[in-house]
Amino acid sequence: MYKASRFSPLASVIRHTVITLPTPVNISTWWNFGSLLGVCLATQIFSGLVLSLHFTAHTDLSFYVVIQSFGDVYYNWWFRALHANGASFFFIGLYLHIARGMYYSSYVFKEVWSVGVVILLLVMASAFLGYVLPWGQMSFWGATVITSLFSALPIIGSDVVIWLWGGFSVDNATLTRFFGIHFLLPFTVAGLAGLHLFFLHDQGSSNPLGVSSDFNKVVFHHYYVLKDLVGVCFFVGPLLGLVYFYPWLLGDPENFIEGNPLVTPHHIQPEWYFLFAYAILRAVPNKLGGVVALAAAVLILFYMPFSPKTSIKGLSFYPWGKVLFFSLIGVFILLTWAGSKPVEEPYVVVSQVLSFLYFFYFLLIGPLTRIQDKLL
């Protein structure tokens, strides 16, 4: 009897979170990505913990320890391929989750949306730090380029860069602190994910129609538990296909070379999921302006809850809004493509035009939908 009363609060929280939670009956497959991101986060934490057991954060050893552990540690190759490709699938899920929230106006729930954007920022930071750890050629130069951007900050820029590096160049101190922060950030993200769910369950989920669904809800289990499990199967299948058959397809060949500060790669670029922001950074000829544009490319998501309100939540009933939204998706894909190209014409001009269109969407979508409200 004592044990039952001791654990009943926890059991009650679990029951209300994943079993009896009232859920709109008409939510579609696009709402599956929340649970998929939870699976991705758990996978990244577990595989990262396993990899950390066989990793040495030292510039003279990291690259060789990673290579040697492939043959000396059972299934280390599998965990590394899972961790690397899992990061890519994590970002695919994040971007689709954000796109769904933008299309269906989930940002009207300010607390849920704001915590989600903070999670995105921390995941991006963790991915960048983790990319540096194997100490490959592109990892080293990527860390050098990105951290050097802080030198554009007025007055304190140089001091911030030295503090990040732990010295006067990207070296052993940099790698050590990057490893420590990369290890801690996923647990911070997990805590924020719990807060994200708390606000979501407190305010309720949105739905494709954008109208109140309080009169037509069903319990989460077993309807949506089974639906989420099917989504996980469809998501995990391609991930395991990459892990087993094309483990390095999304990686950079330069990272099979040890980081060398004396040899600069011909074309320095980050992982594919950062290329859209990298293209925006390069589109601005001024260094400080590029850094501001880079930060604004993500921070502008905080503006969405304060954009002009519409009569109906979501873009389903706004034809011009839908055209603008899917144009943004195309711009995002083209920015990712432009970020993978060298800094030369015509790619610079293309990046500048696409960057303008990217920011123009956030300024135009609110007034455009308000005009359609008045016409209707």
Distance CA 336, CA 263 (A): 26
SS3 347: helix
Phi then psi for 24, rounded to 5 degrees?
-55, 140
pLDDT of residue 212: 67
C-alpha 34 chain-centroid distance: 13
pLDDT of residue 1: 42
Q: Which option is the CATH number for 14-251: 1.10.3720.10, 1.20.810.10, 1.25.10.10, 3.40.50.1820?
A: 1.20.810.10
Residue located via tokens 């074309």: 267
Torsion of CA 105, 89, 295, 363, to 10 degrees: -30
SS3 270: coil
Annotated binding site for heme b: 83, 97, 182, 196
Give the chain's residues under pLDDT 70: 1-7, 10, 12-14, 17-18, 212-215, 376
Annotated binding site: 83, 97, 182, 196, 201
Give 151-175 pLDDT, tens digit per residue.
999 989 899 999 999 989 999 999 9
Annotated binding site for a ubiquinone: 201
pTM (global) more than 0.85: yes
User: Which helix (H) or strand (E) covers residue 163, if one does?
Assistant: helix 157-165
pLDDT of residue 351: 95
β-partners of residue 24 are: 217
Q: Among all residues, which ones are annotated catalytic?
A: 201, 205, 227-228, 271
Query: 173-178 — which CB contacts under 8 Å span 24+ positions?
Result: 174/132, 174/143, 174/147, 175/57, 175/58, 175/59, 175/62, 175/132, 175/133, 175/135, 176/57, 176/58, 178/57, 178/129, 178/132, 178/133, 178/143
Could you count the other beta carbons within 10 Å of the beta carbon of residue 35? 19
pLDDT of residue 2: 44
Residue located via tokens 């540690």: 73
pLDDT of residue 10: 66
Distance CA 43, CA 51 (A): 12
212: which residues sit within 8 A by CB, 6+ positions away? none
Distance CA 184, CA 161 (A): 21
Task: Return the domain boundaries, the chain.
Answer: 14-251, 272-375
User: Which helix (H) or strand (E) covers residue 369, if one does?
Assistant: helix 347-375
pLDDT of residue 86: 95
